[in-house]
A = this chain, B = another copy of it.
């Protein structure tokens, strides 16, 4: 089990869906960053379920308490522990899942690997553990903002409905206007319909989430084995439900000739830029100053109420399963804040590691 990520800006996450609490300890945030519980709460609220038609109607208050690491309104260089006490979690009986794994849900792995698995609400295999990511990400974002780095994640595909590309500022505005967090408002409407249709059928649907980071300086990433693209790929693939990660053109690059997709250099206002950004802001594992663009493939929520084949691990016999309950028919909208947070954690870590954020930067 490893619940920590990051080298200099380091998140250690803990807690299970229906346990006493979930939370994270963030170590390595430079001292003297203005930070309050509200900064974190704001991000947690984006992740929170029960806020729209396309998410689960489950209500979770998810109020964060900061236990340490802030003195007189600023970080003091010591670990920041954030905790959210779970509430009203034992309303339901999960015992039917104790020996019957849900198809494509992580629970089978947890049962077999650890033996003692808290199956209530998915335990630590639940999407609820991403609260730890969001705590870390909220602090990372605040830190990155001091260097004018901004990150935004938005939904670009749900099922077969694809969004048209939009400008960064339009994305920021538009994703707040619809529950799908899609920047193409026409597509957003169709996506919402599709999700509601799947919900109606007791089914779920997948999608693609794109993340854009602007303002990242040239030179983040430590080749050969701690490259920026490698570290982004890891943290994004580590998000439950993600089955693919791509940077820039991504898989489409396979279809092209070098002469079509090479990013040619130019001098622009005395700065080196590239005419195109097919590389998605990363070449040779290092940021090149262009926007960093990644996309992740998010699978349909595995918990569906349609009847499925499974097994009984005690009797070792085949068994049908119907997963009743209030599951998100599509988790992409809520994954956006997790992708944003994960990207922020990697960028904050590399900004410190590469010396762009110095431990004493914020001192005076």
Contact = CB atoms under 8 A, between A and B. Distances in A.
A27 interface: yes
A31 B104 contact: no
Interface in A344-364: 353-355, 358-360, 363-364
Contacts of A20: 65-68
Query: Which of A32, A101, A245 counts the most B-chain CB atoms under 10 A from its CB?
Result: A245
A248 interface: yes
Contacts of A355: 355, 358-360
A224 to B, nearest CB: 5
B27 A1 contact: yes
B79 A14 contact: yes
A63 to B, nearest CB: 14
Contacts of A261: 104, 206, 299-300
B103 A265 contact: yes
A14 B225 contact: no
Contact of A258 (B231, B236, B272, B304): B304
A16 B123 contact: no
B299 A76 contact: no
A116 interface: yes
Interface in A236-290: 236-238, 240, 242-259, 261-267, 270, 272, 274-275, 278-280, 283-288
Given A16-B68, A245-B244, A227 B238 contact: yes
A247 B257 contact: no
A50 interface: no
A150 interface: no
- A interface, by DSSP: helix, strand, loop or mixed? mixed
A212 interface: no
Interface in A91-110: 101, 103-110
A107 to B, nearest CB: 7
Contacts of A341: none
Given A31-B114, A237-B245, 16 more contacts: A1-B77, A3-B79, A3-B224, A16-B71, A75-B116, A76-B117, A78-B123, A103-B264, A106-B286, A110-B284, A115-B360, A206-B258, A243-B279, A258-B302, A267-B318, A355-B355
Most buried by B among A77, A258, A316: A258
A145 interface: no
Nearest to A110: B284
Given A12-B12, A257-B203, A288-B109, A21 B222 contact: no
A15 B67 contact: yes
Nearest to A289: B112
Contacts of A27: 1-4, 12, 14
Nearest to A124: B78
Contacts of A359: 113, 354-355
Given A68-B14, A218-B112, A253-B243, A285 B4 contact: no
